[in-house]
Structure 1
Amino acid sequence: MPVKRVGEGASSAMEFDLQEMKSLKTTIDQYEHLLRDLLHEVPAGAAKRIQSTLTPTDSYPLNRNPSMSSSSSSSAGSIEGIDTISEDLNRNEESRATGFMGKNSVHAWLRNLEPDSGHRLSPDHNMEAAGRTQFGQPISPQGLDNNMAVSYFLDDQKLPPSNPVDAYKLPAKNLADWILHSYFKSVHPFFPIVRTDLFLEQYKSIWGVNGSTRPGSKWLAIFNMILAIGCRRLQFLQEKLPTGVSHEVFFSRARSLSVNENMTFEHADLQQVQVEALVTLYFMVSMQINRAWKVSGIAARSAMALAINLRFTDTDLQPGSKEARSRLWWSIYMLENVLSHMTGRPTCIGSSSFSVEQPIPYSEDMFARPHVMDLLTNEDLRRERLRWSLDEQENENDDYDPFWLKEIETNQGLQFYHLVDLMHIVHIAIGELFSPKGFQANKSYIKRRIRFYDERLDHWLSRLPPAFRFVNHNYNLNLQTSSQGQVVLALHYYGARITLYRPCSPFRRYIGLKEKEYAYISQRCLQAALSLIAVFPDAVDLDWVYNISPWWCMLHFLMQASTILVIFTQTSDPTGSAHMGDAEYSFAAPALAAQVQVACQKAHRWLHGLSRVDESCRRAFVLYDDLLRRLCCVVSSSATSLSGSAQSNPLSRNQSGGQNAQQESDQPVYNVQHQGEYPRQMTLDSSMEPYSHPMHDASDLLSSLDWRNVDPSVGAIFAEPGYIGDVAGESEWMGTTYNENNDRMKFS
């Protein structure tokens, strides 16, 4: 009789139990997946019951997996601790100015780089020596955990003093034409806050006004905010403006007119919503992001108070006016989401808080065409034609063809349509996955949903017409750097992918089949960062930045991708690894490491070049330069310091001297031309002389024009004195009747 080995029966029983447990776990996972899918399809009461049932077993954080917390740097930007804050932001003025920077912001990624390896940013002598504001005040971080230590935003700068200003002064017409052209050429196509044809009609009329009326204060506030934004761009381009003319001057006038208690206590009208949206945009282009985020929330709530976020069915309002209000809402939506990405904060616009139609893919000057008017007036046709990429399903049974968009001739409205569609995907994804509530879902569910949104982004890309398509048939980057549509959409697309992937992308080796999904996500994140850097031309070119790229958030994209490359460089094994069948997944091959190194150097060159004209880029360069040196990356000898001319005057283009100023042949050429015609819908005056600059003194432009001494024949547009209309609509726009006791409208 054979002798039974000790433990043989127990071993068999244990193996059986393990098999049974594995089978049960598989079944449970299938049930969980089914319930997760049903969670978004059942009524609210049933969804709440499902959520409460799943919570006890699913609420553990991702970092329970040991491999997910292999290093603090690899998890920099992960959603661990997304619902907690480790510092008191109310402790001093600087911390309050910067405000909270969420886990999915570039600031959080920089701050959480591994301290043990010496790569964490610190307020060392380099920061003290080079990191000064354009006003000469040093950046003074208060510790490693301070947001200010890694902040390149400019919220610590003071607003222009609110001294008494003559709010009714206007610039000379040729100067105003030049600045308006700056705004409508580079900003308005992406933020159509005002209705162009109506605004320009009103604008041209103010140089021939009936003596009994004058522009209303809110219209003038809109006008001055547009001038402030356009002037900001011209100053970045190093254009010489007349003495006494600056964006601060125009902002101060708008501030006196309507950016005051009206924003807090008065009931908003359409013009006030436009003012608030323009103030948000102004703070964003000035890189005062905390202020911009605050005012954006005010603008969104004002718009909701007027129901601009809802589908409008009033048949008395003209189609063009309805579309103008729709575009005003989508401009606010764009601003709110861009700022949310920059700060890592949640947006105040809920995913189900709006029903307004998508903007039609046509420019304003095309509205009169019959097929465009059909789309404006036929709601059924509009709902049939315009659908979100996020909502389209590949197996739809109807006859909907999303590719009809490719047949539309290239225009700015089509570009805006695709940009809003892309922003909508990211808005919904972040709200679902990376909020404190959304992160209660288990890791398998989050990975599956990332896959879903990844496919939706691919679908969005497939809908682009050839003129806007920036990839080839293999989905590799292939764009024309001179195409504004391709550049803007490409930067937003790759930035969206980084935003989606980064919270679940620790760059390391992935062991086991269960981690294959993480390898895929990390690969996609790194590819997006490399592609984003590749969008930038090889040589730093200010003309490209401020005429082609989305310059108001270009630094965000550059730092977003650059930080991903730094995290990859720090955490990856540059020698690669051996693959054990399908059990190990690594993508840190030597060739890829070299590619990342080249991209880091390119980003370094760009930040250095831009630091000469933009203080926020200057701060970003200090941070990034310090990072690369700590990582022992090779940097360009021409971009070694911010001392010399760049430090003494960062906004001076033609400084010479300074031992570290760029003298090499690869120095950026700051040659900005203002040639070409105005856009068709922006024709200001067919007989207008081109603006001649530079001018030496603003006093040369002063005019003694008095509103009471103008030919009354040109005052027909002011037919209803006292009626305050809106630039978005089609109503009259003038405000109060002129009073002898009021100051005269002056020009300066």
Structure 2
Amino acid sequence: MLNKVRIPRLRRERPESDGRNRTVQACNTCRQRKMKCNGKKPICAQCHAQGLTACDYSEAKIVIERKQLELAQVKIGAYEDLLRKLSLRADASTAKQITSTLKDPYTTRSERQNSSSSASFSSIGSLDNIDTVGEDLNRSKESRATGYIGKDSEIAWMQQLELNATKQSGNWDSLENPSECRPLTEDSIGPMNYRLDYDHLSDPEVTNAFVLPPKALADHLLHIYRSNVDTSFPIIRWGLFMDQYRRLFSGSSINPGRKWLAVFNMVLAISKKFCRVSKQDLRGYTDDDVFFARAKSLNISDTVLYGYEDLQQVQVETLMALYFLTVSRVNRRGGMIGIATRSGIALGLNIRRTNNTLDLEANEARKRLWWSIFYLEHLLSVMTGRVSCLGDGSCSAPPPLLFGNSNYRLSDVGRMGYGQLAQTGDVQWTIFQRDEQIEAQHTCLKSMEPSASLYFFYLIDLTLITHAIINREHSTSIFQDGWIQIESRIEVYSQKLDQWVSSLHASLAFEDKDGDQLLRSISYYQVSLALHYYSARVILNRHCLTRPEIVGNNGIRIPRSRFHNNTSSAFILASLALIAVLPDQPDTGWAYNVAPWWGFLHFLMQATIASLLHLSVLSVPARAEANGGAPKSVEMPEVVLTATKKALHWLYCLGRSDTAARRAFLLCNSCIRRIAPSKGLDLSDIPSTIDLSQTPSTAHHPLQWGIPRETSNSTLQQDQGSDNHQAPNLTASQAFSNNKGSEDILFQESEEAQTSRDSLRSLSAVLDTDIAFSEWISHPTAPNFQDLLLLMMGPNV
């Protein structure tokens, strides 16, 4: 059979003029007319025949669809961002529905499993039993002294750290199921409390609460208060207060009143406490507890039980809460700041005023007093982990004026030109601003002159953001909202913190534009804002410090989600950044004169325990995508260990003269020494004990640091006028040296202090923050005055 041969098909060539070729794209004119177009540019044959000069060609369909898709993606992203922001303000059910809708439908099963695993094992216990109390807080004096400590307090972190350290030292780390560990709530949290709540607070007997100190001592203590306290707590209206103070010591028969004297003694008590901790002790003179006892005798009696609230009463209560903070009695401070908060609300200090019956100075005094109360209440909430008595939407008071110091005058408003800006509400808190408002306000703030008032605005602005974080992220409602809602809130509040730090005035900034710290020539204002900012970062990301979960008995660890890795890294980086603010060499003078001395130990312990928690976990990646305010890449765990050692050296240095710091060091030192063997940590250069017989290495005075604060001796003398009672420039070693040998010079009344003891006991004399001194002169010779005095104060007057 013959083989078949394939015959190829004949090719037919068409001439170019055949006209059957299709153009790639016809012009719009030919399309509308449904005419054949040859697609030539800039003009086709048909349009040229019609006498047109050019053709219009539309984009290809695929290009149009691609652009429409990109535009739709941008709009969807904007809608999702808007929904996330709305979910923060919506009720729990609506917020849960929004977050459920925003879930990515294309998330793989393994990703959902990882995310769920990270959430269920979140924060190695920070979310466990957040809505329960594991012990009877009324069972002993120690438990009552400590009170309830929430899971967001560094004391609760220390309890969890103690459990982890015990587990690791007992070789519990080999357990396949971490839930087999004994529950955290079995032990009392009291032993983990490094503060002095359980210690006895001296309560000396007061035989005469109306005695005045020598003028020179009072001047010195007032100067210390204005230099080291008033910038962050502008509780007092200094212009009027100093006028009244000057007239009191002028030798005239003036009746200051019980509440005014209580305010005066509380100022002296807080100043004397600062002298004691900063080693400026005026030996041979009354301690701070005596001044406090006098203020308590003058005010805390029938006034609290039966009296009506007034501004001076609120001032006394706020100053007493501040005093409890300075002496490390945080639990006692909680009750007093609660009373002060309620008293301020009763006077409407938390609400924006709409009438103009008050002058500007009186209105500013009220606003500064309220925001001082708010700041103190927030500090209590952070230190104890308790819910704040001020919920969302409880305050509408506007920001105070953003210029000058607390001794503002009406003439300053016209001179500076910023009064109308603050009064009309153009300056708003960052937490309440929309994104389009942020840039305009940043420009406004950065153009202002640096001042104590500008610092106070930034401090309260940051406090409001941190307050919102605690109320929305660390409340018991998280069990209703779900972990996805928490992630959304973390992202939103992280953005708010970024906006706050980017708005800082150049004189107050502690980071450059790249997020690196400015560690040299840093002032009190910068140190204070930096410590508060990094503390807020630690609180925000605390939930996400997690240990990978072990599945079953096969030892396989489920990795965390990308979000948890980033936020866990942001947590440890914020704690490292907080420690980096401190000088490399511990210095008590820096701690008490450059840092906010009333809360420095709290910030230091917060960062120290955070780094210890990381060392006990050792599973956080070395690079963070979220901005935590610290270097973006660190060598783990070496850098963390180095920073932890630095913090422990600081605690050791402070502990040589401060009991609370000594307890804090002993707790942290015990934990790290039990963690070290299982993690292979070198602790050779960490001190193990504190020799109480040693004295602090340095004893500094405020003037040695050159702190750029508003108040100085010249300011105090200017407030006092041109009389001869000007404040001397005293040092710790020279103060009242001419009075040595006296048992207690403070209570030996000089001629200028003897302003008629009977007149000082007047029951009707009251110096209000808005009322001139001369309007409240009363006559103590009224009938039955001594009988009334004995009835109210007892026979020991």
TM range (shorter): 0.7 to 0.9
- Deviation, structure 1 residue 160: 2.5
Choose 359-368 or 340-349, whichever is displaced more: 359-368
Consecutive unaligned residues in structure 1, runs of 5 or more:
1-28, 123-141, 580-586, 647-651, 654-667, 744-748
Of 593, 617, 621, which aligns to 2:661? 617
Matched, 1:690 2:732: no
- Deviation, structure 1 residue 287: 0.6
Partner of 2:583, secondary structure, is coil
> Quick check: 2:549–2:559 contact (8 Å CA) kept in 1?
no
> Quick check: 1:482–1:544 contact (8 Å CA) kept in 2?
no
Choose 78-87 or 185-194, whichever is displaced more: 78-87
Aligned pairs for 1:63-142 within 5 A: 65-69=116-120, 75-76=123-124, 78-113=126-161, 115=163, 118=166
Matched, 1:594 2:638: yes
> Quick check: 2:213–2:749 contact (8 Å CA) kept in 1?
no
Q: Give the Cα separation in 2 of the matches to 1:578 and 1:375.
A: 43
Cα deviation per residue 1:62-82 (whole Å; 9 max; x = unaligned)? 999334455xxx734622321
Aligned pair count reads 650
> Quick check: 2:257–2:765 contact (8 Å CA) kept in 1?
no
User: Which residue of 1 is the match for residue 52 of structure 2?
Assistant: none
Of 597, 611, 615, which aligns to 1:565? 611
Counterpart of 1:89, as a letter, is L
- Deviation, structure 1 residue 690: 2.8
What percentage of residue pairs aligned between the two structures are identical?
33
Of 525, 547, 551, which aligns to 2:597? 551
- Larger Cα-atom Rg: 2
Of 698, 701, 712, which aligns to 1:669? 698
- Deviation, structure 1 residue 699: 4.0
Q: Give the Cα separation in 2 of the matches to 1:688 and 1:498.
A: 43
Residues 314, 374 of structure 1: alpha-carbon distance in 2 compared, 3 angstrom cutoff: farther
User: Which residue of 2 is the match for residue 157 of structure 1?
Assistant: 199
- Deviation, structure 1 residue 169: 1.1
Of 552, 573, 595, which aligns to 1:527? 573
Q: Give the Cα separation in 2 of the matches to 1:546 and 1:729.
A: 35
User: Which residue of 2 is the match for residue 266 of structure 1?
Assistant: 307
Matched, 1:416 2:462: no
Partner of 1:182, secondary structure, is helix
Partner of 2:543, secondary structure, is helix
- Deviation, structure 1 residue 393: 2.7
Choose 108-117 or 420-429, whichever is displaced more: 108-117
Choose 366-375 or 264-273, whichever is displaced more: 366-375
Choose 74-83 or 694-703, whichever is displaced more: 694-703
Residues 567, 678 of structure 1: alpha-carbon distance in 2 compared, 3 angstrom cutoff: same
Q: Give the Cα separation in 1 of the matches to 2:763 and 2:406.
A: 28
Counterpart of 1:608, as a letter, is Y
Matched, 1:703 2:749: yes
Residues 267, 634 of structure 1: alpha-carbon distance in 2 compared, 3 angstrom cutoff: farther
Matched, 1:321 2:355: no
User: Which residue of 1 is the match for residue 780 of structure 2?
Assistant: 738
Choose 410-419 or 438-447, whichever is displaced more: 438-447
Partner of 2:595, secondary structure, is coil
Q: Give the Cα separation in 2 of the matches to 1:81 and 1:631.
A: 25
User: Which residue of 2 is the match for residue 645 of structure 1?
Assistant: 693
Matched, 1:256 2:297: yes
Of 352, 361, 369, which aligns to 2:412? 369
> Quick check: 1:197–1:681 contact (8 Å CA) kept in 2?
no
> Quick check: 1:77–1:502 contact (8 Å CA) kept in 2?
no
> Quick check: 1:271–1:727 contact (8 Å CA) kept in 2?
yes
- Deviation, structure 1 residue 672: 2.8
Partner of 1:79, secondary structure, is coil
Cα deviation per residue 1:598-633 (whole Å; 9 max; x = unaligned)? 101100110000001111111101101111211224
Aligned pairs for 1:20-59 within 5 A: 38-39=86-87, 47=91, 50=94
Consecutive unaligned residues in structure 2, runs of 5 or more:
1-76, 103-112, 171-183, 551-556, 625-630, 790-797
Structural RMSD (CA)? 3.8
User: Which residue of 1 is the match for residue 516 of structure 2?
Assistant: 476
Cα deviation per residue 1:657-685 (whole Å; 9 max; x = unaligned)? xxxxxxxxxxx422336468826643365
Residues 33, 535 of structure 1: alpha-carbon distance in 2 compared, 3 angstrom cutoff: closer
> Quick check: 1:723–1:732 contact (8 Å CA) kept in 2?
no
Counterpart of 2:116, as a letter, is N
Of 511, 514, 535, which aligns to 1:495? 535
Q: Give the Cα separation in 1 of the matches to 2:300 and 2:396.
A: 29
- Deviation, structure 1 residue 147: 1.5
- Deviation, structure 1 residue 255: 0.7
> Quick check: 1:221–1:258 contact (8 Å CA) kept in 2?
yes
Aligned pairs for 1:208-607 within 5 A: 208-211=250-253, 213-362=254-403, 363-367=405-409, 368-371=411-414, 375-376=418-419, 378=420, 382-396=423-437, 400-480=440-520, 482-506=522-546, 515-573=561-619, 591-607=635-651
- Deviation, structure 1 residue 260: 2.9
Q: Give the Cα separation in 1 of the matches to 2:633 and 2:577.
A: 18
Counterpart of 1:599, as a letter, is A
Partner of 2:255, secondary structure, is strand
> Quick check: 2:623–2:633 contact (8 Å CA) kept in 1?
no
Partner of 2:303, secondary structure, is helix
Residues 699, 161 of structure 1: alpha-carbon distance in 2 compared, 3 angstrom cutoff: closer
Question: What is the TM-score with the length of structure 2 in the denominator?
Answer: 0.74
Question: What is the TM-score with the length of structure 1 in the denominator?
Answer: 0.79
Choose 200-209 or 345-354, whichever is displaced more: 200-209
Of 626, 631, 652, which aligns to 1:608? 652
